Structure 1
Amino acid sequence: MSASTPELDRPAPLALDGPALDPIGGGGALIGYARVSTKGQLLDRQIHALTDAGCQRIFTDKQSGRNADRDGLRQCLDYMRPGDTLVVPSLDRLGRSLQDLVSIVAGLRRREIGFRSLHEALDTTTPGGRLVFHVFAALAEFIRELIVQGTTEGLAAARARGTRLGRPPAMTAEQIRQARALLTRPDETVSSVARLLGVSRSTIYKYVPELGSGSGGGELPAAPTAQ
C-alpha cells in the first residue's frame, strides 16, 4: 500500500533542448519504498527518512511471518516510469536476499529506473553506484554457482554411498514381505491387507506386482502342498 503522501501527478514528459539526461534515473520522480517485517514495528522513521530525501510518493508494506506477499512493492514497481528513481531506507528493506535484491534492481535498470539506498549511500544513477551494483550482481551469481555446485556434489556423494535419492518408498521391505505372506491366506484380500499395513490398494499392487493389475480377486495363489 502507499503511505499518506500527496498523489504525484504525472504530466507527459517535456521535450527539452540540451544534453540528454542519464537514462537510468534522473529527471523523473523520487519514489520511496519502506517495509517492516513484523506487525509490531513502525514505519514512521523510514517514511521520515524517505520524505527528507525528497520522495514525492511512498509505498509501504507491513508483513508478518505468515504473509510473505509484498503488495506495496508490487504497486510501487507498477507505478514507476522510465527516469524515476526508487529510494529505500536500506538495502534490507527491498530484498530478502542478495539474489532477490540484484533481481529487483536489475529489473529497474532494464526499465531505465534508478535506485538509491540511503543507509548504504548507494545510487545507481551515478557511475560509482553502478560499479558497486555490478559487484553485487557478480557476487550474487558467484553465490548461486556455489549453491548449484554444492548441490551437484552432494547428490554425487550420496549416489556413491548408495543413498536412495528422492521420496522414501511407500512400503518397506518388511511390509512387502508381510503383504505377500498375508495375501496367501484365503481370508485376506488386497483391501484388508492395505488397511492392516496403512497403505492404499494401489500401493499394494505396485509393490506386489505378481497380483497383476487388480482386475482379479486380489489374492496370491496359495503355496502348493506336499504330495
Structure 2
Amino acid sequence: MNAQRKTPSHPATGQRIGYVRVSSVDQNDARQLDGVDLDKTFTDKASGKDTDRPQLKAMREYVREGDHLYVHSMDRLSRSLKDLQAVVEDLTGRGVSVSFVKEGMTFTGNDDPMATLMLQLLGAVGQFERALIKERQREGIAIAKTQGAYKGRKPALDAEAAASLRDMAARGIPKTDIAATLGISRASVYEYLKASAR
C-alpha cells in the first residue's frame, strides 16, 4: 500500500498508536486497550470481514517509521488470515512495530521464522474457530426447521397491515408512499408483494 508517510498532524517520531474495532455501534470499545498508554487511537465500528474500514485506512496512512501500533487481539485487526498477514507485513515493512495485547506478541519486521509461524498459526486458528461457529449456527437452524421450532425473523407487519399493503399496491399507490405509510422500507414492500404472488 502506498500510504502517505508524512502528515502535518504527526509529531516527529515514535508515537504509540492504538487501533480498536468493534462489530457494531452498540458495543463498548473502551476496554480493548484499557491500561495501554497511547498518543492516538483509531476506532472502527464495523465488521472485520475485510480491510475496507475507514479508521483502519486512516491509521495505515497516519503511522510512520518508528511508531508502535497496539491492537487488542489479532481478530480485531482482521478476521481473515490473508488480510491479517498483509496488514502486519505492510506496517512492519514501513518500520512500524505491531503488538497484539491479548496474544502478548509484537512484530517488528525483523522477526525470526518462529514469530512469523506464530502469526500464521494464531490467525489460522481464529479463522477456523469462526468457521466452526458459523457451521454450528447453520446446523442449529437446520435442526430447528425440521422440528418446526425455527420461525425466522418476525414479520414487520401483521396480517391486517400486510393486506393493506397489497390493497394500496393494487390501487397503484407508489411503493415509496406505501413504505412511508406503514413504516417499513421499500425493499420490505417488494418482499411482501413477492411473497403474496407465490
TM-score (norm 2): 0.50
TM-score (norm 1): 0.44
